[in-house]
Amino acid sequence: MELHFVLLLMMGGEPQYVGTFLNCEVAHVYAAENFIPDLRTICMHEDFINLPSDFQHKYIYIDHNRPVLYVQAKK
């Protein structure tokens, strides 16, 4: 399973990284269930976001209706 979609919360003018997901639908469902519903979210493929070369993803996927988090090991 490849997770390539990055979810950002817009808070105070600066985007805050939430996690990397399988697709934007899953990302927005996760945001709706875990954050204030009317916060603005943005979901984009990681290829269209300028991420630092040493960026460490927090991969989040849904397994049996529960979010599971794992963090990319540093290379």
Q: What is the pLDDT of residues 42-56, one digit of tens each?
A: 999 999 998 888 888
Q: In what order do the strands lie in the sheet with 40-45?
A: 40-45, 5-11, 14-21, 58-63, 66-71
- Once rounded to an integer, what is the mean pLDDT over residues 19-46? 88
Residue labelled with tokens 């090991």: 73
Strand partners, 24: none
Range of the domain at 35: 5-71
pLDDT of residue 47: 93
Query: How many domains does the chain contain in total?
Result: 1
| Residue 75 pLDDT > 90 | no
Token output for 73: 């090991």
**In one letter, which amino acid is 58?**
K
